[in-house]
């Protein structure tokens, strides 16, 4: 059971924090709610107290003998602020301890996760962006707000991410804080998890499986669930990175705090990866998506019907798609940035190891690192755990067997930090 401080500030999205509190409690975390005075105008103290099962901490003058403005922050395993208004970001960035919540921030030594929510103009204002940069430089995990409907008829970036997505990132931050250190060069340990070694870095990750249209209603796809790509994103977020996602066919919700764009086919993914690299200049690019190697040659009939075929079966003709990973490496040329990481779902044959296949593939692709997993019989697709090897051009750097997919992300970041 982790001790979580849930800070709630005075924005209309405060009602969503009630769901965040419920989810935290359902995951057996001990939660102390610290609402600002303005937050209590949106959701009252009885609600917070009833759902947390604890008294609500509201101001520095309550229970002064307990020195709550110091004790709450010092005793926390995670401080989660959701929603965080522009006013709160400004005060937090400049160390202004004008209420109990900002006092808690100044005494907390645990990870601090901040989920901003405000109107688009307020989020994009240079002052707010400067405050966010300052908070990130100091080690706070500040999520990008979601894009969507805001108060009234307005729509745009500034929406609070969904509570379930915020919970997943909070859990990732707690796991990263408490899991033991290891040896990234051997078993794929997690030596960097408690730190912010990706602070100031931008990571671009492709996620999911592509869909290649055959006719107007049919497509060829694959079994990629996107779980590994999203786990990579969360592990990068809690280590301080800004994370961009190019998401193919995925049903699951993207992690809170990431910029994202949706694609469908291999060609759409290819074009979007090139455009995103040019626009957002990432430090690390991870090709975790399962990109189709072949696509159907489109049928001119629009939709293939039984009547149009009489009794004959339709003919499926295939052509190769572009090797996106190899193309990204070629375009980068002799430059050292961005670091490029490939993924390989492998089916090994007799007298052949996963390591051998991974080393052969990285030699062909030319990327800096490659993560290979064994998928014989459909293994690992959609599962919470996996087994992988991480290699670079010099050899095997990490082996992980039967680990949570988040551990693969941490092992990758550890490996990159250790060898570059």
| Residues taking part in catalysis | 222
Q: What are phi and psi of 36, to 5 degrees?
A: -80, 170
Is the Cα torsion angle 248, 254, 255, 258 positive or negative in sign? Answer: positive
Q: Would you give the DSSP letter of residue 209?
A: B
What span, in angstroms and rounded, lies between the C-alpha atoms of 346 and 263?
24
Tokens of 115: 């989920």
- Sequence-distant (≥ 6) Cβ neighbours of residue 12 within 8 angstroms: 42, 117, 151
What span, in angstroms and rounded, lies between the C-alpha atoms of 184 and 398?
6
Give the SS3 label for residue 26.
helix
Beta strands in 208-258 (DSSP E): 212-213, 219-220, 242-247
What span, in angstroms and rounded, lies between the C-alpha atoms of 110 and 113?
10
Residue 289: C-alpha distances to residues 58, 109, 211 (Å): 46, 36, 12
What span, in angstroms and rounded, lies between the C-alpha atoms of 241 and 239?
6
Q: Would you give the DSSP letter of residue 303?
A: S
Give the SS3 label for residue 416.
helix
Cis peptide preceding 84, ω within 30 of 0: no
Chain centroid to CA 86: 23
Q: Which residue has the tokens 């609500």?
A: 56
What span, in angstroms and rounded, lies between the C-alpha atoms of 359 and 408?
18
Give the SS3 label for residue 292.
coil
Chain centroid to CA 79: 19
Q: Would you give the DSSP letter of residue 276?
A: H
What span, in angstroms and rounded, lies between the C-alpha atoms of 5 and 321?
49
What span, in angstroms and rounded, lies between the C-alpha atoms of 35 and 18?
11
């Amino acid at each position: 059971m982790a001790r979580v401080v849930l800070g709630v500030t005075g924005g209309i999205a405060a009602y969503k924090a009630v769901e965040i509190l419920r989810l935290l409690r359902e995951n057996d975390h001990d939660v102390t709610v610290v609402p600002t005075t303005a937050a209590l105008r949106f959701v009252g103290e009885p609600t917070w107290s009833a759902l947390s099962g604890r008294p609500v901490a509201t101001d520095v003058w309550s229970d002064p003998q307990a020195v709550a403005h110091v004790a709450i922050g010092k005793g926390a395993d995670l401080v989660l602020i959701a929603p965080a208004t522009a006013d709160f970001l400004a005060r937090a960035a400049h160390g202004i301890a004008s209420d109990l919540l900002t006092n808690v921030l100044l005494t907390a030594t645990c990870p601090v996760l901040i989920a901003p929510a405000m109107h688009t103009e307020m989020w994009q204002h240079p002052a707010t962006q400067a405050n966010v940069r300052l908070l990130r430089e100091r080690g706070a995990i500040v999520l990008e707000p979601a894009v969507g409907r805001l108060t009234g008829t307005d729509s745009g970036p500034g929406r609070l991410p969904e509570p379930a997505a915020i919970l997943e990132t909070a859990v990732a931050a707690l796991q990263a804080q408490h899991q033991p250190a290891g040896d990234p060069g051997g078993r794929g340990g997690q030596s960097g998890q408690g730190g912010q070694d990706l602070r100031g870095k931008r990571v671009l990750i492709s996620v999911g499986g592509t869909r290649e249209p055959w006719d107007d209603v049919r497509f060829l796809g694959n079994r990629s669930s996107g779980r590994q790509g999203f786990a990579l994103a969360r592990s990068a977020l809690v280590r301080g990175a800004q994370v961009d996602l190019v998401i193919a066919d995925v049903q699951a919700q993207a992690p809170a705090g990431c910029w994202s764009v949706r694609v469908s086919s291999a060609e759409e993914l290819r074009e979007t990866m090139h455009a995103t690299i040019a626009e957002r200049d990432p430090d690390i690019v991870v090709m975790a998506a399962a990109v189709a190697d072949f696509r159907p040659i489109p049928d001119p009939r629009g939709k293939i019907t039984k009547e149009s075929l009489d009794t004959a079966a339709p003919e499926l003709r295939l052509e190769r798609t572009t090797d996106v990973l190899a193309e990204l490496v070629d375009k980068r040329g002799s430059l050292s940035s961005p670091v490029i990481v490939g993924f390989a779902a492998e089916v090994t044959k007799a007298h052949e190891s996963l390591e051998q296949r991974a080393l052969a593939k990285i030699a062909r692709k030319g990327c800096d690192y490659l993560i290979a997993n064994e998928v014989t019989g459909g293994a690992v697709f959609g599962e919470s755990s996996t087994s992988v090897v991480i290699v670079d051009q010099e050899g095997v750097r990490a082996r992980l067997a039967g680990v949570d997919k988040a551990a693969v992300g941490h092992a990758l970041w550890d490996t990159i930090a250790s060898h570059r």
